[in-house]
Chains A and B, each alone.
Chain A
Amino acid sequence: MNALLVARNVEKTFGSVVAARNINVVVPALQTIGIIGANGAGKTTFVNMITGHLRPSRGTILFADRDITGRPSREITRLGIARSFQVPQIFSSLTVLENMCAATAIAHASDGLLSQALTPLHSLRTMAESEAALELFRIAAYRYSPAATLPQGVRKLLDIAMAVAAAPRVLLLDEPTSGISVEEKFGLMDVVMAALKDRRVTVLFVEHDMDIVERYADRVLAFYDGAVIADGPPVKTLEDPRIQELISGPKLKARAPDASDA
């Protein structure tokens, strides 16, 4: 299988704090990977290093056999790695459709600022693609709503839809279901994962809810104290007692009989 994204001996230190230690991960195309770990375990640091938000202290990151270590995030975006945010980064003074159009138009315009200054924002193609994206992510009903007034779930979906506008090959989702009620989580992830499958995107998502990880991930990366302590299929990894002790806690299903006994 072809490796699309490779992290080789990647480390990140902030002074004496080690946020990522000796991370080695090979991501084949079209896999969906869940990243788990307690707060401060290095999940977001890992995402930030891949997307160019942080420069690794050591090690190499390869994307499609190309060294992207320490490149600026806008360059990495243009190469085909996009991300969404734990706190959705949308343009709150614009409507949903305007948000989507802005993202689509930027994706269409070439990298140069001058060509961006000469390309009109609204073209038929931009509109059509933006509408299609809103349909795909099931938020077309909100198209004329100001982004500032959206419910959290719609904000999350818009954030992801905007990240996908540039047709990335890899998408990193930072806690896509945080701030979403338990009843809504699966519905949201169904929409997101179906859309990403449709666009043939390789996905890495950071997640705290183990049921979500088990349901949607093909593979799990478990972080602890800056290092990857487990890397394997979800069921096996989540049943590992060490992972349960350090990260996920014992499964609710396993605890249920005890609770009834008590």
Chain B
Amino acid sequence: MMAWRSIVTGTLAFILLAAAAPALPTWLVSLATVAFANALVVLGLVVLWRAGLVPFGQALFYAIGAYAVALIGRYTGMRDALVLTAAGAVLSCLAAFLVGFLLARYREIFFSMLSLAMSMILYGVLVKTETLGSTDGFSVEPATYFGYAPQGKAQLLVLFWLVLAFCAVAALLISLYLRSVAGSLAVPVRDSEIRLEFLGVSVNRLIHLNLVISGALAGVGGALAALSIEHVDPNMAYWTTSGGFVFVTIFAGAGSVAAAFVGSFVFELLKSIAYDILPGTWQIFLGTVLLLTILFLPDGIGSLSGRLRRLAQRKSTSATP
């Protein structure tokens, strides 16, 4: 079946990446680590996007995940990557569950703006609170893995593998979720909430569930990013960070799970190229990329594979009448 084929393809892709990592240059591995950590946030955005919801404040959960890692590390001395990331996931999940009671009642621009407001409240708190690091934030100790503390390049590689593992699990779970009854109702939410209610579905609860899922993904992404950058600061909760995730989601497209990962990676690559060749005006380059994406690939680069497949199908059906 289609589902099994994409699961096998996805697993192979992750294994291939993990195997290739030691041969790749260091800069590319650290770029890919951040890109895939961010891809988890984008994947969460995709879940909401399908229901027509665009959160302009997803950095709220991203920052909670990151700060959970930094604060727990700082105040308890815990350095285990798995434990810290799990803590980030649980806390962001909880935060999403709580703000969800309010957010799930809103749609469209009201949802976006309320989500933005929530994240800016956290930003304000982080900036003003000395014990939370204030504007400077603070650094994160290098992570350990079940007591193993890798050094040098190994440190980079092990973290990359951990990120890949999280991504693989998230990709699998989210593809299963999108194929479930609840997951596939996202598009119907956009079309007719009334029909859904009269089929026996609570749309608000459905959106609440999607929020919790996307919040947890953003929290894991933030926790992994904190471990990778080894630093957290209030900018992680700032609206431009949220805007960046929305940018990548538009660029990647909300059509498939794979698109979130490919899109996030290509985006980080383009950003780093832009930094190199246009140090002062790299935003112009990225802006142009976004403009071209919207003009020529309105469903994002994820829609490329679908377009190619449809082209191939048309050819094969016309060949065998």
Contact = CB atoms under 8 A, between A and B. Distances in A.
Interface of A: 51, 72-75, 77-78, 82-83, 85, 89-94, 102-103, 105-109, 111, 113, 116-122, 159, 162-163, 165-166
B104 to A, nearest CB: 12
A150 B184 CA distance: 22
B192 A90 contact: yes
Given A106-B181, A116-B182, A122-B179, A77 B200 contact: yes
A103 B182 contact: no
A93 B196 CA distance: 14
A74 B198 contact: yes
A166 B200 CA distance: 9
A106 B198 contact: no
21 contacts: A72-B202, A73-B198, A78-B200, A82-B198, A89-B194, A92-B192, A94-B191, A102-B181, A102-B184, A102-B188, A102-B199, A106-B199, A116-B180, A116-B185, A117-B209, A118-B180, A119-B181, A120-B179, A121-B183, A122-B179, A165-B199
Given A113-B209, A116-B181, A166-B200, 12 more contacts: A91-B191, A93-B190, A94-B187, A94-B191, A102-B188, A103-B199, A105-B181, A113-B202, A117-B182, A117-B183, A118-B180, A162-B199
B206 interface: yes
A91 B194 CA distance: 10
Contacts of B199: 74, 77, 102-103, 106-107, 162, 165-166
A111 B200 contact: yes
Nearest to A81: B198
B110 interface: no
A94 B189 CA distance: 12
A75 B200 CA distance: 6
A186 to B, nearest CB: 26
Which of B177, B179, B182, B198 has the most chain A CB atoms closer than 10 A to its own CB?
Answer: B198
B195 interface: yes
Contacts of A119: 180-182
A74 B202 contact: yes
Question: How many of chain B's residues touch chain A, expressed as a range?
Answer: 20 to 34
A225 B181 CA distance: 43
B198 A83 contact: yes
B200 A107 contact: yes
Given A91-B195, A116-B181, A118-B180, A74 B188 contact: no
B201 interface: yes
Interface string B154-187: 0000000000000000000000110111111101
Q: Among B181, B182, B199, B209, which residue has the most Cβ atoms of chain A within 10 A?
A: B181
Contacts of A77: 197-200
A134 to B, nearest CB: 17
Nearest to B203: A74
A227 B160 CA distance: 71
B192 A102 contact: no
Nearest to B213: A117
A175 to B, nearest CB: 15
B191 A90 contact: yes
B212 to A, nearest CB: 11
A163 B209 contact: no
Contacts of A107: 199-200
Nearest to A122: B179
B179 to A, nearest CB: 5
Contact of B182 (A74, A82, A113): A113
A133 to B, nearest CB: 13
Contacts of A166: 199-200
A51 B180 contact: no
A173 to B, nearest CB: 13
A83 B198 CA distance: 7
B195 A90 contact: yes
A91 B185 CA distance: 10
A259 to B, nearest CB: 43
Contacts of B209: 113, 117
A195 to B, nearest CB: 18
A73 B192 CA distance: 15
Interface string B138-159: 0000000000000000000000
Contacts of B180: 116-121
B134 to A, nearest CB: 40
B74 interface: no
Contacts of A120: 176, 179-181
Contacts of A85: 194-195
Most A-side CB within 10 Å, residue of B194, B201, B206:
B201
Given A117-B177, A120-B179, A91 B198 contact: no
Contacts of B206: 113
A78 to B, nearest CB: 5
Contacts of B177: 117
